[in-house]
Amino acid sequence: MTVLHELGLALWRLLPANPILVRVVTTGGKRVRHLWARLIYLSALFFVLIVASSSLGGSGSLVELAKKSSNAFMFVSFAQLILTSFIAPVFTAGAITQEKDANTFHILLTTPLSTAQIVLGSLVSRLYFVWVLLLSGLPIFCITMIYGGVTAAEVFLSLGLAASTGLVMGALAIAISVMRIGTRRTIFSFFVGVAVYMIGLWAIGFSAFGQLPEAPLGTVFGGNTTARMSWLAPVHPFMSLLVVTGQTPAPALSDVHHYGWPARWLLAYPHYGYITLTTLVSLALVLYSLAFVRKSEKEGESTWWLRLSAPFKRAVGVEDRRKPPRSVWNNPIAWREASTRASAGGRSVLRWVMMVIAALAGFVMLVATESGWWGLARSNGPELVTWLIRIELAAILLVCTNTAATTLTREKESLTIELLLSTPLTSRYIIAGMLRGLVSLVLPLIAVPVSTLLIFMLAALFRAEMGEAAGWLEAAVCVPLLMVGYASITAIVGLQMSLHSRKTVQAVMVATGAIIMAASILTGCAYSIGRIGPPVAAFAHPFSPYWACSALVDPRSLFDAGATVSGADLAAVRIVTLIGSIAAAGLCLLFTFVQYRGMVRSFDMTVRRQTT
């Protein structure tokens, strides 16, 4: 009995009575910003539910109402999973690195807390808020069950997929944070890595190579696209969610029995397989993190490896430690944000990896459409390029938002804001430099979709199709103009949050939520206004980052499917789209300038009030 009592007491102290978990849970739930976060999260889900229910047509029969409820449930589940995929790493990435930035991590290591208590307490305390958000959205999912078409099993499976996604994101973020110092670079790298993983596997999964031939044919997103379940579904949350919602049904266990165990079980039940795999991966990441919590404190100690490798190490002289001088811009603040490791995104390897992957994707699409690979034709080129630009634009805005949200909070957390204020630099000089540096940071990323458009234009010129080439050239001029405008808005919003927030996690969370909310509202408004007619849609769509890509790259998408489009109508729509693009870019730059002037006026008062 004594052994069992000690074991139970150890488990009780490990999680339920963990001081870190108790402190965060008892104090975090009382904060007003957590109340606003829950309100914004539930408002976003409810907004998606209303838009999905109103945009889907159908008669008033019970069968049509059940089908509409099922489609609304699918869109709400996707919105929930998207929010979870980005909320979880934001909350968990800074769990340990915030202690390091505030110079309190050494104090934490001197307490009687064990390594397991530090890791599990940091992980579960941050995931607590994410899981509470998921439970708070349960009544919204229950609304979709009123007319049938949605079962309780589907609701809880969608919650399980979101919860397991948050768990593995949190465990991976904790593992990265205990091995690296600096919340800004951790958050930036993690967001880019998550985006590349999600988008890359999604693209592979819906290609001819990624679909499972044994799976029955299904319809995706309300019947707009037909596809089969991918064999990557057990390792991708969104593909698993398509199986749960019945969009891409899973094959029977007998149909995939020849793949052997455990592949046949994973393919027959990809949603259960995803939850199981993510749980096991999370456990492995937690165990891996335990070895790194106190590793940085032992760097000066002599180990057997250091003693063996000491004779082979060459003494480094003073001349070997010198670095070549670098050319600094007229504004050193802008140069630091765009070109140095002091920023969250400057000189990041992931940024260049993302650019290379996007460039290769554009080249492969060109070759595939020209050569007829995977059943594609030249007519599929505009649609493929549209989706590629949408993905790249989402990554650009995400990178710009997260980088901007850490510009001033990193100075506050590293206690260097006083040093910045003691220099002769004025608030106008500092804000202008940060804004210029952030825009310069994403210019190489913007050059990738522009290059994709230009190579499609060259291909059209090579085929002597001047009209098609003029369309690609027109898109290549307007797309970077709009991207710069969108990036400037995300940069100024991130700077605003970084100015008014004390912590990096808070600034990143609020800035990302604000940008996602604004983009969702603009997307819904542009879609509703665009239903009036093609000329109205041509002018309204450039004001939405989502619809702007299709309006510029594929103007025929503004017309109804199957409608006969004359050359005069197409030319008129293209002219209106050009005018709308210029107006949207000008409005973005005007909004950025107004916010910039406001930040300059309130900079000194806000920063000095926070530092006193």
pLDDT of residue 301: 46
**Which class for 64: exposed (0-12), middle (13-18), buried (19 or more C-beta within 10 A)?**
middle
| Mean pLDDT, residues 156-183 taken together | 79
Nearest alpha carbon to residue 235 among 256, 261, 263: 263
> Is the model's pLDDT at 260 over the cut of 60?
yes
CA-CA distance, 475 to 473, in Å (whole number)? Answer: 5
Would you state the structure tokens that stand for residue 329, as one six-digit string? 């811009």
Residue 187 CA, chain-centre distance (Å), reads 11
Nearest alpha carbon to residue 93 among 505, 597, 551, 601: 505
CA-CA distance, 109 to 75, in Å (whole number)? Answer: 45
CA-CA distance, 544 to 172, in Å (whole number)? Answer: 33
CA-CA distance, 106 to 295, in Å (whole number)? Answer: 12
Which helix (H) or strand (E) segment holds residue 547: the answer is helix 545-553
**Confidence grade of residue 277 (pLDDT, cut at 50, 70, 90):** very high
| Distance from the first to the final alpha carbon of the chain | 55
Would you state the structure tokens that stand for residue 115, as one six-digit string? 């390594």
pLDDT of residue 99: 60
> Is the model's pLDDT at 181 over the cut of 60?
no
In 29-54, which positions are buried (b, 16+ CB within 10 angstroms) versus exposed (e)? eeeeeeeebbebbeebbebbbebbbe
CA-CA distance, 572 to 584, in Å (whole number)? Answer: 18
> Is the model's pLDDT at 604 over the cut of 80?
no
**Confidence grade of residue 308 (pLDDT, cut at 50, 70, 90):** low
DSSP string spanning 371-421? HTGGG--GGGHHHHHHHHHHHHHHHHHHHHHHHHTTTTHHHHHTT-HHHHH
Would you state the structure tokens that stand for residue 559, as one six-digit string? 């017309």
Nearest alpha carbon to residue 295 among 303, 307, 284: 303
Which helix (H) or strand (E) segment holds residue 220: the answer is strand 218-220
List pLDDT tens digits, range 387-424: 788 888 887 888 888 788 888 777 776 667 777 777 77
**pTM score above 0.75:** no
Would you state the structure tokens that stand for residue 125, as one six-digit string? 């305390």
Counting every residue, how long is the chain? Answer: 612
pLDDT of residue 358: 76
CA-CA distance, 612 to 609, in Å (whole number)? Answer: 5
Nearest alpha carbon to residue 479 among 312, 345, 610, 362: 362
Domain ranges of the chain: 32-294, 333-611
Which helix (H) or strand (E) segment holds residue 219: the answer is strand 218-220
Residue 576 CA, chain-centre distance (Å), reads 32
What DSSP state is assigned to residue 226? E
Half-sphere CA count of 598, side-chain side, radius 13 A? 13
DSSP string spanning 477-515? HHHHHHHHHHHHHHHHHHHHHHHH-SSHHHHHHHHHHHH
What DSSP state is assigned to residue 341? T
Say what angle helices 381-404 and 504-530 make with each other, to 10 degrees: 150
**Average pLDDT score, the chain:** 77
Nearest alpha carbon to residue 382 among 402, 410, 359, 362: 362
Would you state the structure tokens that stand for residue 93, as one six-digit string? 């990435």
List pLDDT tens digits, range 448-507: 888 888 888 888 777 767 666 777 777 888 888 888 898 899 989 888 888 888 777 677
Are residues 290 and 116 in contact, defined by beta-carbon separation less than 8 angstroms?
yes
| Mean pLDDT, residues 77-87 taken together | 81
**Confidence grade of residue 300 (pLDDT, cut at 50, 70, 90):** very low
pLDDT of residue 112: 78
Half-sphere CA count of 428, side-chain side, radius 13 A? 2
**Confidence grade of residue 94 (pLDDT, cut at 50, 70, 90):** low
Are residues 431 and 599 in contact, defined by beta-carbon separation less than 8 angstroms?
yes
pLDDT of residue 323: 59
| Mean pLDDT, residues 179-186 taken together | 54
pLDDT of residue 221: 58
Q: How many CB atoms lie within 10 A of CB 122?
A: 28
| Mean pLDDT, residues 67-81 taken together | 82
List pLDDT tens digits, range 511-569: 877 888 788 788 878 877 877 878 888 888 888 888 888 888 878 777 766 667 677 77
List pLDDT tens digits, range 7-63: 777 777 777 777 877 777 777 666 676 777 778 788 888 888 887 776 555 555 666
> Is the model's pLDDT at 576 over the cut of 70?
yes
Rg, C-alpha atoms of the chain: 26
> Is the model's pLDDT at 581 over the cut of 70?
yes
CA-CA distance, 122 to 94, in Å (whole number)? Answer: 9
**Confidence grade of residue 224 (pLDDT, cut at 50, 70, 90):** low
Decide: helix, strand or coil at residue 252: coil
**Confidence grade of residue 124 (pLDDT, cut at 50, 70, 90):** confident
Alpha-carbon distances of 331 from 323, 335, 365, 440, 442, rounded to whole Å: 22, 6, 40, 12, 18
Nearest alpha carbon to residue 408 among 528, 314, 492, 534: 492
Tokens 């390792």 locate to: 235
Nearest alpha carbon to residue 330 among 437, 405, 407: 437
CA-CA distance, 389 to 387, in Å (whole number)? Answer: 5
> Is the model's pLDDT at 344 over the cut of 60?
no
Widest Cα–Cα separation across the chain: 88
pLDDT of residue 280: 92
